Chains A and B, each alone.
Chain A
């Protein structure tokens, strides 16, 4: 606390000394921010780094004022190492190291999200020494932090700065098209499936096996699916079938499964997912054979027909399955009740005879 007050005092002192006649702006910034800006509003202000890179020290006053922190924070809340002028000497070899130097500054307020980010695949790369892995400011910005997800498409565009290939696929998908062209807020953006701070490595078996759950968050939502005339039965029909049953057992097993089993994305696609009614869709009857062959190499001919395409067996959709089921539904109780009656009669007769 003392440091902060000292910093603030120092700022005020500088402000009072150097710029008595600063112009008033529409956005009112805290006096201590104004104090810092006395120097840092100079666009040409920069720091030369040993790597030869230069780091601009310019702060756009308007950006900061309009940022989510504009009316909440002052400079030294984040730049807590700076107490006054002259600033303490800090040595950064290069630009990335400069950013990394401020990495921990957000956690003072955003401790929960900071902690979550430690579980992320990004942090895993960072801790292995990959300094390109994104830090808070790489996604959120620094002085110009705005509320994330406004508009929603901004999230995917943020990820696209590094994951351009994935973004291009996504933009063509049924979800991406709705997001970008219809401004549809129901469709998932990157973070809806991958989460934001604790982004998991999506290439693991555990993530694969969890993925039906991710899809089901929306595709199991009755109200939401009704809006688009989609069935919520897809999860149940998947889980009841061979693949879904296998996946749900695999996901509970400690050891890694010996084989892969199909999850939603194996048939429907991941980022490039299309409407099942789209002729280009991988799950379109005409394209299904190729999809099956990804896991069942020898499968040809009628093999895709083995999959009931999420339908419950009805006389129209799958007559053979329906009637086999029906026959047994009648036959099993008939036999069981018949045998039990015979047993009861036998016991009764034995008792009577005695």
Chain B
């Protein structure tokens, strides 16, 4: 019985917690957080090298050679992480331990429109989400596609001579533009969107700890993922019932992609 699927309850308050993220997912998030920071820190000054802050930052980090070395090392580790994630997801889906809760559905588009209408005050009905809402799916798939672009173009730039042996040479400057632009886009999305959703959003301010602890309060689940909670309810009648959840992963509660 994987311990991370156990329902945790705090004794002081009567809040009960659900385990939302597995240890693997938490580790994945932690490593991607570190690697993304390192890649942005060593990548952005290379793109904006003419700016004064970059002219200061690159020597401060030990010079252009070291910055590139760290960037490439982190890129390789990032690629290993991406391969690990892909492998884990394929394995878990094939062995039916998770369902495809991250795959966008028609409901996501309806939810997005409903949420927009709600924001504009056109309706008082709020969208009800399952395990992942459309914003989380957008960010996840954005990360997946972004990573593919970054990894492919990154390796083209890492091995330009090898690339040119099999592919047209102008792919290399194009990869440079794509790598820089996609990196900037990813950085902006993380700074604007992810930082808002995980920190500044009034609902979670100052810090949504769930991806680090793996736990989410039932109260929040009810607010943010009521449909998922609903699906879990039958099994939650008894104490320690979440253990039962783990036995019925096809219901889509297990470790889907983060």
A-side interface mostly: helix
Q: Tell whether A320 pairs with B171 under 8 Å between CB atoms, given A298-B162, A343-B193.
A: yes
Query: Which bucket holds chain A's interface residue count?
Result: 35 or more
The answer on a CB contact under 8 Å between A302 and B164 is: yes
Q: Which of these binds chain A: B2-10, B176-184, B208-216?
A: B176-184
Query: Which residues of chain A are near B239, meaning CB under 8 Å?
Result: none
Asked if A299 and B178 make an inter-chain contact with CB atoms under 8 angstroms apart, the answer reads no
Q: Does B83 interact with chain A (Cβ within 8 Å)?
A: no
- List, in ascending order, chain B residues with CB within 8 A of A342's CB: 119
Contacts of A16 in B (CB 8 A): none
* A-contacting 9-mer, from B11-19, B56-64, B72-80: B56-64
Q: Is the CB of A313 within 8 A of B165?
A: no
Known: A246-B64, A258-B65. A296 touches B161 (CB 8 A): yes
CB of A302 within 8 A of CB of B174, answer no
B65 and A259 form a contact (CB under 8 A): yes
* A252 interface residue per 8 A CB criterion: yes
Residues of B within 8 Å of A242, CB to CB, are: 176
Indicate if the CB atoms of A325 and B177 lie closer than 8 Å: yes
A228 within 8 A of B: no
Known: A318-B173, A324-B174, A340-B192. A250 touches B168 (CB 8 A): no
The answer, yes or no, to whether B167 is at the interface (CB within 8 Å) is: yes
Residues of A within 8 A of B174 (CB): 318, 320-321, 324
Choose among A255, A298, A304, A306 the residue that contacts B63 (Cβ–Cβ < 8 A). Answer: A255
Binary CB contact string for chain A from 296 to 330 against chain B (1 if under 8 A, 0 otherwise): 10111111111110000100001011001100110
A339, closest chain B residue (CB): B193
Complex: A13 Cα to B60 Cα, angstroms: 73
- A299 x B164 contact (CB < 8 A): yes
Q: Which of B31-53 contact A (CB under 8 A)?
A: 46, 49-50
Contact of B170 with A303 in the complex, beta carbons under 8 Å? no
List A residues at the B interface (Cβ < 8 Å): 240, 242, 245-246, 248-250, 252-253, 255, 257-259, 296, 298-308, 313, 318, 320-321, 324-325, 328-329, 331-332, 335-336, 339-340, 342-343, 345-350, 352
Chain B, 83-136, CB within 8 A of any chain A CB:
116, 118-121
Mask for B191-219, Cβ within 8 A of A = 1, else 0?
Answer: 01100100001110000000000000000
Q: Are B169 and A304 in contact (CB under 8 A)?
A: yes
Smallest Cβ distance from A247 to chain B, in angstroms? 10
Instruction: Enumerate chain B residues within 8 angstroms of A313, measured Cβ to Cβ.
Output: 173, 177
Q: List 9 A-B contacts (CB under 8 A).
A: A245-B46, A246-B64, A249-B59, A300-B161, A307-B169, A320-B174, A321-B174, A343-B192, A349-B119
Taking the closest CB of chain A, its distance from the CB of B60, in whole angstroms, is 12
Residue B150 is within 8 A (CB to CB) of chain A in the complex = no
What A residues does B188 contact at CB under 8 A? 332, 335-336
**Residue in B165, B173, B203 whose Cβ sees the most chain A Cβ within 10 Å:** B173
Please provide the 3 A-B residue pairs with the shortest distance between their CB atoms, ordered closest to farther. Answer: A305-B169, A328-B181, A302-B169
Known: A321-B174, A331-B185. 19 other contacts (CB 8 A): A245-B64, A249-B63, A258-B65, A303-B164, A303-B169, A304-B169, A305-B168, A306-B169, A306-B173, A307-B173, A320-B174, A321-B177, A325-B177, A328-B185, A332-B185, A343-B196, A346-B201, A347-B202, A348-B119
Contact at B202–A328, with CB atoms within 8 Å?
Answer: no
